[in-house]
């Protein structure tokens, strides 16, 4: 956040009457809508054990890639059988936002995994498009995913970056959004020095709307809620 000394604190649950033209919201699924941390950790540990390791190797790139591939497969299997828990406030936010703007997932997850999470949560029809791991050469913090999303949105109708909000849950996602010149709201617990790089910070999506996030993240009015 550009001016931390001038940061104000908004009251939780406030619904702002002042509106602004937001045309699309770009969301990371993992960490913002779904709690996948434990599933990811369990999948990585399974992959490490399969290779007789306690941690990722720092010098053997080939072995590191093999572990990562096995971990991704384990993650997909766990999602397919158990799903992933929605974060508090996520469903209400998505339902409300989808009735007003175009929702786009810009996610680290594969297309199959993203589709599985949304399908099991009953949210598939809320999203206009998915930008997934297969759609980019470089993952976050590269802005490529956001640029692909903006390009595809613009094919349907003109969508300036200023009319887009991004919701991210870690520093890689925040930096990706900012590099694409998209306003970014950090969601959930995040290190303070990382959150400072976002335009706004909310502890959760409970009580939040597109309008409230728009107001929180406007230039010169950076806030924490």
Q: What is the rounded average pLDDT of the residues 158-162?
A: 92
Please report, rounded to a whole number, the percentage of residues in the chain having pLDDT higher than 90: 68
pLDDT at 179 over 50: yes
Q: What is the per-residue pLDDT for 5?
A: 30
Q: What is the per-residue pLDDT for 65?
A: 87
Q: What is the rounded average pLDDT of the residues 17-27?
A: 76
Q: Which domains does the chain have, with CATH numbers?
A: 4-35+85-224 (3.40.50.1000), 37-82 (no CATH)
Per DSSP, 85 falls in state E
pLDDT at 8 over 70: no
At 32, give phi and psi (nearest 5°): -90, -55
pLDDT at 14 over 80: no
Integer CA distances (angstroms), 123 to 120, 147, 213, in order: 8, 24, 21
Q: What is the per-residue pLDDT for 222?
A: 54
Q: Are 217 and 178 in contact (CB under 8 A)?
A: no
Q: What is the per-residue pLDDT for 2?
A: 41
pLDDT digits (tens, 9 = 90+) for 188-224: 999 888 989 999 999 999 999 999 999 999 886 656 6
Q: What is the rounded average pLDDT of the residues 154-165?
A: 94
User: Cβ neighbours of residue 137 under 8 Å, at least 6 residues apart?
Assistant: 144
Q: Are 84 and 109 in contact (CB under 8 A)?
A: no
pLDDT digits (tens, 9 = 90+) for 110-138: 999 999 999 999 999 999 999 999 999 99
Q: What is the per-residue pLDDT for 6?
A: 32
pLDDT band at 83 (very low <50, low <70, confident <90, very high): confident
User: Quick one: which of 141, 131, 127 has its CA closest to 106?
Assistant: 131
Q: What is the rounded average pLDDT of the residues 44-54?
A: 87
Q: What is the rounded average pLDDT of the residues 76-93?
A: 94
Residue-averaged pLDDT of the chain: 88
Whole-model pTM: value is 0.84
pLDDT at 19 over 80: no
């Amino acid at each position: 956040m550009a001016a931390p000394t001038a940061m104000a604190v908004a009251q939780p649950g406030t619904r702002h009457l002042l509106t602004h033209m937001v045309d699309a919201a770009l969301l990371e699924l993992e960490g913002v809508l779904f709690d996948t941390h434990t599933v990811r950790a369990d999948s990585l540990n399974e992959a490490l054990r399969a290779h007789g390791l306690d941690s990722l190797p720092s010098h053997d790139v080939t072995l590191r890639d093999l572990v990562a591939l096995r971990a991704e497969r384990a993650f997909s299997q766990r999602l397919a059988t158990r799903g992933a828990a929605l974060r508090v406030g996520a469903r209400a936010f998505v339902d409300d936002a989808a009735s007003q703007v175009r929702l786009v997932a810009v996610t680290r997850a594969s297309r199959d995994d993203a589709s599985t999470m949304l399908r099991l949560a009953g949210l598939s029809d809320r999203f206009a498009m998915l930008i997934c791991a297969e759609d980019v050469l470089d993952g976050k913090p590269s802005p490529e995913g956001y640029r692909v999303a903006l390009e595809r949105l613009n094919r349907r109708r003109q969508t300036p970056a200023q009319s887009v909000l991004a919701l991210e849950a870690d520093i890689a996602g925040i930096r990706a959004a900012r590099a694409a010149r998209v306003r970014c709201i950090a969601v959930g617990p995040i290190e303070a020095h990382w959150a400072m790089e976002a335009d706004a910070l909310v502890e959760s999506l409970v009580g939040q709307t597109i309008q409230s996030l728009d107001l929180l993240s406007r230039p010169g009015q950076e806030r924490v809620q």
